[in-house]
Structure 1
Amino acid sequence: MTAPTQARQIHVAVAHRDPYVAAGIASLLRSRADFVVRSGLADIEGDGDSVDVLVTDYATGVHKATNGPPGRGGPASKSFLVVTDQSTGWQIRRAVDAGVRGYLLHDCSAEELSDAVRCVAEGRRYLSSPVADQLLDNLSSAAPTARELEVLQLMAEGLANKDIGRRLDIGEGTVKAHVKAILRKLRKPTRIAAISEAFRRGLLLEASP
């Protein structure tokens, strides 16, 4: 007699900046038999290969997906699911462009959270209906490129064009071209106004730990 096949267990790390949200997510997922749940970024930094899905907040998810180490344990081998209250089309678009594969809002149900984790673990994308609607509405707008976002972040840190060029290893003329494109896409006449608009739209992240 053949023994029944056990369902594949999905290894999940929960690392959310809001401790109450993190505790709630971990508790809900642990109530499902197919999830093995850990809490905290420390669990994935040293043992990333054994994690199928990282459930996290917006800033951490985008930062890790964009800047994580290459190779095993890095963005290519780990799927990110963001649970957040950041719901503007620009914020969602930035997360998706960065490589975040799942995006839920804080008011999602336990069932939707579980379904999203399973979907992301299988290598597919999961966007809740409100998130998908916001993303579709935003697709008609011109979005800053990845390089322009890097320039924008350094502008927000107060760096001049020459210093931005040194930091990114590009010419000052190239920086000026990026700044011009940023002002045009954000429809603002000055750097200060563009930075303010970028924060409003969620294009600039707070510093990640």
Structure 2
Amino acid sequence: MTAPTQARQIHVAVAHRDPYVAAGIASLLRSRADFVVQSGFPDADGDGDPVDVLVTDYATGVHKATNVPSSRNRSTLKSFLVVTDQSTGWQIRRAVDAGVRGYLLHDCSVEELSDAVRCVAEGRRYLSCPVADQLLENISAAVPTAREFEVLQLIAQGLPNKEIGRRLGIGEGTVKTHVKAILRKLEEPTRTAAIGEAFRRGLLLEASP
């Protein structure tokens, strides 16, 4: 008699800013036989077993997905799954554009959470139905590019164009072009109004670790 094939173990790291949410997610996933769950971020030096999925909050997920390192430890983490209460179309689209592959809301069921982790571990995307609906409604809207997001964040810090250019290694004229594009896309006449609108839409995040 042939022994049954054991299901592949999926290695999951849970690093959510809300400690209660993090503890709940880790506990739910540990109740499923095919998950090996660790708390906190994967080792920066790449030691230990590769992590298939990082389950995290919105701000951390967008930040980490945008800044995945190019070194050898890149292979230790395949994909990001966000579990959050951030549910506007702008926020969801920013996360997807940044490289987040899974997006769930806090009220998801344990079955959906488990399915999302498995899906993301296989290299596919998983968006809950409410998230997908919000994304589809927003899909035709103009969203700032990655570089425009960088300029937007520095504008929010009160930096002038010259300093923004120095920080990003681009010319002041290029900064002005990005600022004009940001004002157009956010449909606001001034930098101050654009920053307020960006916060309202969830385009600006609190600083990430």
Q: Same fold (TM over 0.5)?
A: yes
Deviations 1:36-79 (A, max 9, x none): 000012x4434376100000000000000001311433389520
Give unmatched runs, 5+ long, in structure 1: none
Residue 203 of structure 2 corresponds to residue 203 of structure 1: yes
Give the conservation status (yes or no) of the 8 Å contact 1:69–1:75: no
Q: Given residue 101 of structure 1, which amino acid in structure 2 is its aligned partner?
A: R
Q: Match for residue 155 of structure 1? A: 155
Mapped to 1, the partners of 2:75 and 2:24 lie a distance apart of: 25
Deviations 1:110-155 (A, max 9, x none): 0000000000000000000000000000011111111111100111
Mapped to 1, the partners of 2:75 and 2:107 lie a distance apart of: 27
Mapped to 1, the partners of 2:183 and 2:5 lie a distance apart of: 57
Give the conservation status (yes or no) of the 8 Å contact 2:46–2:72: no
State the percentage of identical aligned residues.
84
What pairs up with 1:162-201 in 2 under 5 angstroms? 162-201=162-201
TM-score (norm: length of structure 1): 0.96
Distance 1:113 1:44, change over 3 A: farther
Q: Match for residue 88 of structure 1? A: 88
Give the conservation status (yes or no) of the 8 Å contact 1:85–1:105: yes
Which aligned runs of 4 or more in structure 1 are off by greater than 4 angstroms?
none
Q: Given residue 127 of structure 1, which amino acid in structure 2 is its aligned partner?
A: L
Mapped to 1, the partners of 2:119 and 2:44 lie a distance apart of: 23
Q: Secondary structure at the match of 2:14?
A: strand
Q: Match for residue 99 of structure 1? A: 99
Segment of structure 1 superposing worse, 144-153 or 64-73 = 64-73
Give unmatched runs, 5+ long, in structure 2: none
TM-score (norm: length of structure 2): 0.96
Mapped to 2, the partners of 1:5 and 1:107 lie a distance apart of: 34
Give me the CA root mean square deviation: 1.4
Mapped to 1, the partners of 2:113 and 2:73 lie a distance apart of: 23
Deviations 1:60-114 (A, max 9, x none): 0000000131143338952000000000000000000000000000000000000
Q: Secondary structure at the match of 2:192?
A: helix
Give the conservation status (yes or no) of the 8 Å contact 1:68–1:75: no
Q: Secondary structure at the match of 1:36?
A: strand
Q: Given residue 135 of structure 1, which amino acid in structure 2 is its aligned partner?
A: L
* Structure 1 residue 3: Cα displacement: 2.2
Segment of structure 1 superposing worse, 114-123 or 139-148 = 139-148
